[in-house]
């Protein structure tokens, strides 16, 4: 099963901003009802794109610097960070299919699959 990491103000730069592959970030809070609806969608996304896209969660109450830095005014906010590009975000609950469409996620799975097939195997 794919792991969803909980990142903090302290390790966000290393785990998200300096990541080698794309990262989907779920900005959430324990008291947020819609955030609880997002959690199963994040689990599906992490499982489906395991190895090509990382999925992490940021508790906005425990990590206020990140909320301020990315101007998180509403939760849940789902952000997509791609190496070398500006992040994209959606607000509120979205099912997996809408997240895939919004962030064009299937293109990243294809790229990861193609890269893994290019690796020669030893006989």
Q: Largest alpha-carbon pair distance within the chain? A: 55
Question: At a CB cut-off of 8 Å and minimum separation 6, what does 64 contact?
Answer: 9
Domain spans of the chain? 5-105
The reply to whether 119 belongs to the active site is no
The residue from 25, 35, 58, 75 that is catalytic is 35
SS3 49: coil
pLDDT-derived band at 61 (thresholds 50, 70, 90) equals: very high
Question: At a CB cut-off of 8 Å and minimum separation 6, what does 93 contact?
Answer: 34, 37, 38, 41, 76
Percent of the chain with pLDDT over 70: 88
pTM: 0.87
The reply to whether 35 belongs to the active site is yes
For domain 5-105, the CATH architecture is: 3-Layer(aba) Sandwich (3.40)
Q: Is 70 exceeded by the pLDDT of residue 121? A: no
pLDDT tens, 8-21? 999 999 999 999 99
Q: What angle do CA 65, 86, 36 make, to 5 degrees?
A: 55
The residue from 19, 29, 32, 109 that is catalytic is 32
Per-residue buried b or exposed e for 61-99, using 16+ beta carbons within 10 Å of the residue's own CB = eebeebbeebebeebbbbbbbbeeeeeebeeeebebeeb
């Amino acid at each position: 099963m794919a792991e969803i990491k909980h990142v903090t103000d302290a390790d966000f730069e290393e785990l998200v901003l300096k990541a080698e592959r794309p990262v989907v970030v779920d900005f959430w809070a324990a008291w947020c009802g819609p955030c609880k609806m997002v959690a199963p969608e994040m689990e599906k996304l992490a499982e489906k794109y395991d190895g090509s896209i990382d999925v992490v969660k940021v508790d906005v109450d425990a990590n206020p610097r990140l909320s301020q830095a990315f101007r998180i005014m509403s939760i849940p906010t789902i952000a997509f960070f791609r190496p070398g590009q500006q992040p994209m975000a959606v607000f509120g609950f979205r099912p997996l299919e809408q997240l895939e469409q919004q962030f064009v996620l299937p293109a990243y799975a294809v790229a990861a699959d193609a890269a893994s097939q290019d690796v020669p195997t030893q006989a």
